[in-house]
Amino acid sequence: MSREPTASEQTTRQQPRRSVFAGLSWHEVRALLRGDPPTERPNPRYRAHTNSFFLHLRPRTYPAAATWITHTWFLGLLAVVLFVVEFVTGILLMIFYAPTPEQAYASVIAITYYVPFGALLRDLHRLAAEAMVIVVVLHMVRVFVTGSYKGPRAFTWLTGVFLLGVTLLLSFSGYLLPWDQLAYWAVTIGTSMAQATPLIGTELNLLLRGASEIGADGLLRFYLLHVLLLPLVGVLLLAVHYYRVARHHGISLPASVEEGEMPVAMRQSATRKIDFLPTIFLREVLVTAAALLALLAGAYFWFDAPLEQHADPLHTPLNTQAPWFFLWVQGLLKLGDKTLMGVMIPLISFILLAALPYWDRNPVRRWQRRPVAMTLGLLLAVSVGVLTYMGTASYGVVMSSAVAIVEQLAPEEGEGAFRRLPYAALTPGAYALDQPLPTDIAPELRDMLTTFAHLVEDASRAGDLNQGTAFVEIIERQANLKAVTLRIIWQPPDVDTLRTYTRTIYLHRDRNPEHAALRP
Amino acid sequence: MRKTEISHPLQGIDRREILAWIWLLAATAAATKATQLTYGFVRASRAARQPTSFNAGTVADLPSPGDAPRAFPDGRFWLTQTQEGVAALDGVCTHLDCLLGWDEQAHEFACPCHGSRFDASGRYLTGPAPRSMDRFAVKIVNPEGAVVASTDFAAGVQAAPLAGADVDSSASLHIIVDITLEATGAPVA
């Protein structure tokens, strides 16, 4: 004859399962997922927060208004999700990446074209890194606008600004690792700026580069910074940052709830407690899944992590440009003294930003009542925007017309019109573009040569390239490899001799990687 | 107003406290020394670039005054001839270490990174660079190895003068550039 087991017998029988689910019974886990009320008294879900390491990191309850999406936009959560994505993809990439000048570029090529899912992983790593910079900055803007850095949250803001610094440094240190041209020169500029730091500059530069110029030592140092030191500092800072949010002061209430006058019922509803389990937890799972899906779709369909030509310490390419999140520094650098513009102003801005809650003593949180703070914030945003534009290669770096014309058609880095021509259309031959073109060449090549001739003619007419003439030579150097030479010859009015500007680019039949991957 | 009461006012300093402070001090000293040692370990102690001196051809190969300087990418310098003589211009921009390119059209050096420009003799023209191009030491030696002309940075001679050199034997006069000896360019006024 059977009977219903007593409650204590049930507990004993479920002990092994309970130890897996942080003290929750299987019934309780199911009830939790269904959104049902707790199955036992006292609420076992609260006990789980004590039993489980991961749950103990999270508060048991949140005031409803603190979790409004229009208040937090999930930006802190998203930053953590992206950090974890960086961790996971980064560790996987480390399996195939080799941090030496001889092997780095080849290993990145191998990851991109030969390792299964390698291209996707690299795209994800790069995309998530750039998304992380955006999300962290937006998180900061949100906290600034909602006035949440004030009062007990001052130190949390300070750690947050340092986390922004770590995010930027992580992105920048990762920038060198593919060992391509833009990376090499962007980091040369970056470390040269470090040299401009008063007193410790020379030592700091030597410490980062490992030698007078970036080479094997520098690459290894940036690699170690990128995979060890900075992530470690990031995790520690994140721990301090989150501990304060979770245990010290919680997520701020919206200023309208905290400061505004509202009916009692409405305030009660805004400040009522919402349990982490299951409401907030499931919401976070949903947001995380959506973010991962968006990231995957972005990396798969649209985003290709860039890779320029192999680093050449003996040649700085035209249009050398900092990564987009540091263009504002490059803009500053074009304005003058590198110690002042490259080190002092960014450093002072950083200190002012980190110390914001300590000098902004206005206790009011609502943005409508903080005209000075809002104006300053807007001013900062606008200056960063303008400086970013000034940092692009199109500002302040003058190219003479011969270089500009060739750069437009066959740039040193990147694709350009000539490289987009089908390989078969590149009929070998020497073409003087002031003469009628042969009739038997492909229409794509004809169009390209006509464009080139027109550009030089226009410059010649404008007086830039006196009697300028364009020439193109296409030579089949070896099987499946053609050399295309663009040449502009002109006669400067004040000199006897002719002047020449020449650039040769090499095009392989398999240059288009999608085709290359298909070949056996 | 009520004052916070201190239940155990500290009076003087006792043996335990002194010892504790000594321990803390010793730990701080040890940590400082450890930091210093770590720094010494991590800091690069590499010598300058190798090789340190370049044979940059003969006087006969020199660009004529007013012509485009000749590039020596391996040594990261440009050889130019001015009225004063032969000069080896450091190809590294004085702003932020990018390598300068030669703009044939404007007949100037141009920095691809932040747009600084210098004339054919390395003099600053425009842009954020703080000074004119730096110069490496140059000496001109005859086939016997004797130095017939050289720069002397201490005396302000920044180009190896060719005035005294025998023009007929210029094809046998070699130009040696020493990249360990460098004179910084004139600061922008």
pLDDT tens, residue by residue, B5-27 = 667 777 788 899 999 999 999 99
Please tell me whether residues B98 and B174 are part of one structural domain.
Answer: yes
Q: Please check whether residue B8 lies inside any domain of the structure.
A: no
CB A343 within 8 A of CB A329: no
Please tell me whether residues B130 and B169 are part of one structural domain.
Answer: yes
Determine the pLDDT at residue A392.
87
What dihedral angle (degrees, nearest 10) is formed by the CA atoms of A341, A158, A132, A182? Answer: 20
Q: Please check whether residue B101 lies inside any domain of the structure.
A: yes
Residue of chain A whose alpha carbon sits nearest to that of B131: A337
Please tell me whether residues B25 and B71 are part of one structural domain.
Answer: no
Banded model confidence at residue B82, pLDDT cuts 50, 70, 90: confident
Query: Of A168, A71, A163, which is closest to residue A384 (Cα–Cα)?
Result: A168
Please tell me whether residues B28 and B75 are part of one structural domain.
Answer: no
pLDDT mean over B57-84 = 87
Residue A79: HSE in the Cβ half-sphere, 13 Å Cα cutoff: 23
Helix (H) or strand (E) holding B136: strand B135-141
Determine the pLDDT at residue A374.
96
Candidate from B95, B104, B113 with C-beta closest to A501 = B104
Q: Please check whether residue B3 lies inside any domain of the structure.
A: no
Cα distance between residue A150 and residue A313, in whole Å: 48
Please tell me whether residues B33 and B73 are part of one structural domain.
Answer: no
Domains of chain A listed by start with CATH number: 7-56 (no CATH), 72-253+263-307 (1.20.810.10), 401-518 (no CATH)
Please tell me whether residues B63 and B23 are part of one structural domain.
Answer: no
**Chain A residues closer than 8 Å to B111 by CB:** 316, 397
Residue B57 amino acid letter: G
DSSP-based helix, strand, coil % in chain A, nearest 5: 60, 10, 30
> Looking at residue B80, which CATH number applies to its domain?
2.102.10.10
Please tell me whether residues B111 and B163 are part of one structural domain.
Answer: yes
Q: Which residues of A touch B (CB under 8 A)?
A: 185, 188-189, 192-193, 203, 206-207, 209-213, 217, 314-320, 330, 333-338, 341-342, 396-403, 464-465, 490, 492, 499-501
* Chain Cα centroid distance, residue A186: 15
Give strand ranges (E) for B38-134. Answer: 53-58, 70-72, 77-82, 85-90, 101-103, 108-110, 117-118, 124-126
Angle at A281 (CA atoms; ends A135, A149), nearest 5 degrees: 45
Q: Please check whether residue B108 lies inside any domain of the structure.
A: yes
Determine the pLDDT at residue A14.
59
Q: Residue B165 is part of which domain span? A: 53-183
At B102 the three-state DSSP class reads strand
Please tell me whether residues B74 and B138 are part of one structural domain.
Answer: yes
Determine the pLDDT at residue A21.
85
Banded model confidence at residue B49, pLDDT cuts 50, 70, 90: low
Candidate from A213, A315, A334 with C-beta closest to B115 = A334
Number of domains comprising chain B: 2
- What is the average pLDDT score of chain B? 86
Cα distance between residue A317 and residue A180, in whole Å: 11
Please tell me whether residues B115 and B156 are part of one structural domain.
Answer: yes
Please tell me whether residues B99 and B148 are part of one structural domain.
Answer: yes
Q: How far is CA B177 from CA A507, B53, B113, B138, in A?
A: 37, 5, 26, 5
Q: Please check whether residue B155 lies inside any domain of the structure.
A: yes
The ipTM value here is 0.82
Q: Please check whether residue B7 lies inside any domain of the structure.
A: no
At B2 the three-state DSSP class reads coil
Q: Please check whether residue B57 lies inside any domain of the structure.
A: yes
Please tell me whether residues B83 and B172 are part of one structural domain.
Answer: yes
B104/A500 CB distance under 8 A: yes
Q: How far is CA A74 from CA A60, A138, A150, A168, A386, in A?
A: 18, 10, 20, 20, 29
Residue B78 amino acid letter: W
Q: What contacts A64, CB < 8 A, 6 or more positions away?
A: A269, A270, A271, A272, A273, A274
Strand partners, B152: B157
Q: Please check whether residue B19 lies inside any domain of the structure.
A: yes
| Reported pTM | 0.88
Residue of chain B whose alpha carbon sits nearest to that of A206: B44
| Block mean pLDDT (10 aa), chain A, length 520 | 61 69 88 89 89 92 94 96 97 96 95 93 96 97 95 95 97 93 88 86 87 88 96 98 94 89 89 92 95 96 91 87 89 85 92 94 92 95 95 83 90 85 89 89 91 92 87 92 93 84 88 49
Please tell me whether residues B89 and B37 are part of one structural domain.
Answer: no
Query: Of A118, A97, A94, A119, which is closest to residue A106 (Cα–Cα)?
Result: A97
Determine the pLDDT at residue A472.
94
Q: Which structure tokens are listed for B87?
A: 């000069």
